[in-house]
A and B are shown apart, each in its own frame.
Chain A
C-alpha cells in the first residue's frame, strides 16, 4: 500500500562513483519531484516533472540527471559523486497542483 516508494533506503558510496535512486508512486499523480534535505534539515527542491516533462530545474549541478520513464516513476542519477552530495533525497508526487505533495521515505546518501 506504499504511496511513494524509494530505493534504496540507504546508499553508501565512494567519491567519484555514479549512483541512481529510484522513485515510484502508485497514487495516479501526474507530477513528481526530487528534494534534497541537508544535514541542517533544510529542504530544497531540485527537479519537478509533470507528465514526464521537466518543468522545474533548480540550480543543481549537471552531475544530477533526472529521468522519468513514465508518470509513475522518477529516477535520479548522480555522476561523479562528491562529499557535498551527502544528504537525504526525497521523492514526492502531487496531482494537478503543487499544493498537496506526498513524500517518499527518503534515501540517505553518504559519500565517503
Chain B
C-alpha cells in the first residue's frame, strides 16, 4: 500500500520554465513533509521541507505548497535550470512515533536547453 503517491513519474521542462511535482498522502498523522533531490549516482539530499501549519514555504527557486484539507502537497521549481535535472522524492513522517520517512515513488525531472 503506497501511503504517499507522487506524480508525474517523469517530467521534461524547458530551461526557464516551472516544474511542478505533486504528492498526496493518506495518513493524517503525518506532520512533516520533506522533499529530497537525488542526482544520478548519488544519495538523496534534503532539499526543502514543510509542516502542515503553513500553506507555503519558499527557499530560493523552490517552493512547497501544502493543502492540508486535500492531503496534498507539491514542489514548484521556478526558472528551472539544467542543473536541476535529477530525481525528486516527496516524503512524509509522523514525528511523534518511532518514526520513519515514507517516500513517494519519485519524479525524474529533465530540464532541457
Contacts and interface: CB of A to CB of B under 8 A. Distances in A.
Interface of A: 4, 40-45, 48, 55-56, 58, 90, 92, 97-106
A102 B34 CA distance: 13
B68 to A, nearest CB: 18
Contacts of B44: 43, 90, 103
A43 B43 contact: no
Contact of A99 (B89, B95, B98, B108): B95
Interface residues of B, number: 22
B103 to A, nearest CB: 4
A104 B87 CA distance: 16
Given A43-B89, A48-B100, A105 B43 contact: yes
Interface of B: 32, 34, 38, 41-46, 49, 87, 89, 93, 95, 98-101, 103, 105-106, 108
Given A98-B93, A100-B46, A44 B32 contact: no
Contacts of B34: 99-100
